[in-house]
Amino acid sequence: MEGFKHEKIHTMVMDMTKDDDVQTVVQKVLADEGKIDIVVNNAGTFAFGPIGEVMMEQVRNAFELNTFAAVHVSNAVIPSMVKRQEGLIVNIGSIAGLITSPWNTLYCAAKAALHSITEGLSMELKPFGIDVMLVAPGGVKSNISKNQASTFKLFPNSMYKEYEEQVIEQMNMAAHKNSMPTDEFARQVVEKALCGALPPYMSLGWSARKVAWLQWLPRQYVLGLVYKTMVWKKEKDTT
């Protein structure tokens, strides 16, 4: 958060996976400012690794930060928004929540759950004048993959050890040369969020259009295409 230097920006420490932390920060902001107009649930983390070898602790961690944290924060703020009959909640999902990919299945599942929660929340809060917006980014330049790819290792006895390079390659896809610059992504999201006709859903960034198109095709075909791209290529190379 060091780059956010402005007299009107005040940073606070909050562990989004802990209810006490969330309540403390929300109540502090309400006490100081009197209201919360917009909440953006942007925290998230990758959860790479074969789902067949994942530990339950990894499953819980993936959902705690990518899914449950958004519910923690939203539910802490909603009562104050209901009183005012206005407010906006923006949840940052991912195109990974639209089409599952191997090696990143946990992250895909957690984001897919967040998508469903956001859509349901949007319908449930509409009677109270509260808007809910889902953003499903494609590739956007950030350090999320860089930070994890540098330390990622499969278990020494993993049955997927020969696929390790492919797993790391997929982790680095978010840093693709065609990924959208972070400031441009932020500008477009803010522009849409503050416009008069708020869209309930928007997707942007590298591969976002391709994923949108793939959703119109038969699911079996799409998953087969993903398999050939991310798994079968390795099998072919080693045959």
Question: Phi, psi at residue 88, to the nearest 5°?
Answer: -140, 130
Scan for tokens 């309400």, then name that residue. Answer: 30
For the question of residue 107 being annotated catalytic, the response is yes
Q: Return the bridge partners of 158, or none.
A: none
Using the Cα atoms of residue 216, residue 103, residue 138 and residue 227 in order, give the sign of their dihedral: negative
- Alpha-carbon Rg of the chain, whole angstroms? 19
Kind of pairing, strands 87-92 and 201-202?
Answer: unpaired
Q: What's the full length of the chain, in residues?
A: 239
- Give all strands of the β-sheet with 38-41 in edge-to-edge order: 38-41, 87-92, 130-135, 201-202
d(CA 185, CA 70): 20
Angstrom CA distances, 234 to 152, 163, 189, stand at 19, 7, 37
Helix (H, G, I), strand (E, B) or coil at 189: helix
Residue 132 contacts residue 118 (beta carbons within 8 Å): yes
Token pair recorded at residue 130: 């509260």
Helix (H, G, I), strand (E, B) or coil at 28: helix
Scan for tokens 């906006």, then name that residue. Answer: 88
Annotated catalytic residue, options 107, 163, 221, 227: 107
Q: Which residues are catalytic?
A: 107
